[in-house]
A = this chain, B = another copy of it.
């Protein structure tokens, strides 16, 4: 490690153990399985590069000394993406915090920019993020793209890996001669959801949407089935501009501070972000389908007030977090429902799992057809029972992106990454120094 540090020149760093340890963690503790596996792991040093020259110095020093590097954004991932398995250095990208330009519906941004700050800066240009995670207030754009898969906005724009949602990437490679590499179009897939294993990503070019004055709207329905039927129908209304369509079981409502008092007992809720132009028609449609309004707010006003909770902080991975804040005996899964018979399968899983599971859905198109992701909140007992539940979902044709593992492959619905991704890692990081242990298929390429 002293070799490595001595090669870094004036790159800012600290070896203060408490700080380094804090910056070696993310939200992996959602999973009791990952908690047991990853607790206590830490890098040896924390680097806070200021610019591309610092990244190049870090890459060269890492190669010369064989030091592992784990890039870090806001540390809000749930798969241990930012936890170094083999020590070395954590590269904190938060200094890369500038919006570089916005034009023609495209923004160029440094990878470490906080997503709330980015959205606010985009709004000054009449634009906004197409999609963001429920951790928007703390996450970075680079962490979202390198570690996430979608979020608020995906009901309209699809997932982060869908064509057109990432236009360009700049990264510093760990090739024999480390250098800055600019990737365009489909080539950018080398960084999507690769946990930082394929390069030190410094800049991103993303399409941005026109700014909308989003409205938070929560609707209560007497049954989960009615809530799901409305949510799906609403999600499929092309004429209603929307950013979020979530469903939560009645059992989750007590964990939702902004809703629990106003929601009638035993009612499931649908959480929406809708454009002002869609508000009246949405409420009319909900009323026709048995829903009542239990909460209305201007999303930005709730977001700007630290004492309030925008509805999106009850959705996506925050749904589980709201439960965990009160009760650590729960965990969750990430699942994808097929586009046919979606709601029948949702009902079937709720029946099969009873009060061991609280249904939570996020509507998102799958290859252009409306479907939904399920992020069920589970009462946790043992790893064996968790494995049984995963098998139960899969036996019904519901794919599971298992959030109780830390490799890219095991956390993916298909348990593999594309051969191209492993080949790209081989090209950009032949020594395997970037977030080592996270890409199984690259490790398999290496001589033993």
Residues on A close to B: CB < 8 A?
A: 104-106, 126, 156-158, 162-165, 167, 184-186, 207-213, 235-241, 275-278, 280-282, 284-285, 365, 367-370
Contact residues in B for A277 (Cβ distance below 8 Å):
104-106, 164, 167, 207-208
Given contacts A281-B163, A369-B369, A370-B368, contact A239 B158 (CB under 8 A): yes
Contact residues in B for A239 (Cβ distance below 8 Å):
157-158, 162-165, 207
Within the complex, which residue of B163, B281, B368 is in contact with A164, where a contact is CB–CB below 8 Å? B281
- Assembly CA distance A361 to B48 (angstroms): 55
- Assembly CA distance A121 to B158 (angstroms): 32
Q: Is the CB of B210 within 8 A of A210?
A: yes
| Closest beta carbon of chain B to A1's beta carbon, Å | 42
Q: Is the CB of A235 within 8 A of B368?
A: yes
Q: Is the CB of B207 within 8 A of A241?
A: yes
Q: Is the CB of B162 within 8 A of A237?
A: yes
Q: Is the CB of A368 within 8 A of B236?
A: yes
- Assembly CA distance A370 to B370 (angstroms): 10
Contact residues in B for A367 (Cβ distance below 8 Å):
236
| Closest beta carbon of chain B to A119's beta carbon, Å | 16
Residue of B nearest to A364 (CB): B238
| Closest beta carbon of chain B to A187's beta carbon, Å | 10
Within the complex, which residue of B104, B126, B184, B212 is in contact with A276, where a contact is CB–CB below 8 Å? B104
Within the complex, which residue of B184, B208, B369 is in contact with A280, where a contact is CB–CB below 8 Å? B184
What 3 A-B pairs have minimum CB-CB distances, sorted nearest first?
A236-B368, A210-B210, A164-B239
Contact residues in B for A106 (Cβ distance below 8 Å):
276-277
Contact residues in B for A285 (Cβ distance below 8 Å):
163
* Number of chain copies forming the complex: 2
- Assembly CA distance A235 to B236 (angstroms): 15
- Assembly CA distance A237 to B213 (angstroms): 25
Residue among A186, A212, A236, A237 with most chain B CB within 10 A: A237
| Closest beta carbon of chain B to A25's beta carbon, Å | 32
Given contacts A280-B185, A281-B163, A285-B163, contact A157 B207 (CB under 8 A): no
| Closest beta carbon of chain B to A332's beta carbon, Å | 25
Within the complex, which residue of B158, B238, B365, B369 is in contact with A158, where a contact is CB–CB below 8 Å? B238
Within the complex, which residue of B208, B236, B278 is in contact with A369, where a contact is CB–CB below 8 Å? B236
- Assembly CA distance A284 to B240 (angstroms): 30
| Closest beta carbon of chain B to A167's beta carbon, Å | 7
Q: Is the CB of B368 within 8 A of A162?
A: no
| Closest beta carbon of chain B to A226's beta carbon, Å | 18
A-B contact pairs, 23 of them (CB 8 A): A105-B275, A105-B277, A157-B238, A158-B237, A162-B237, A163-B237, A163-B239, A163-B240, A164-B239, A164-B240, A164-B241, A164-B281, A165-B239, A167-B280, A185-B280, A207-B275, A207-B278, A210-B210, A210-B211, A236-B368, A238-B365, A238-B368, A369-B369
- Assembly CA distance A275 to B103 (angstroms): 12
- Assembly CA distance A240 to B158 (angstroms): 10
- Assembly CA distance A285 to B165 (angstroms): 14
| Closest beta carbon of chain B to A371's beta carbon, Å | 11
Residue of B nearest to A165 (CB): B239
Contact residues in B for A241 (Cβ distance below 8 Å):
105, 164, 207
Q: Is the CB of B185 within 8 A of A281?
A: yes
| Closest beta carbon of chain B to A366's beta carbon, Å | 10
| Closest beta carbon of chain B to A109's beta carbon, Å | 14
- Assembly CA distance A277 to B205 (angstroms): 10
- Assembly CA distance A209 to B156 (angstroms): 14
Residue of B nearest to A211 (CB): B210
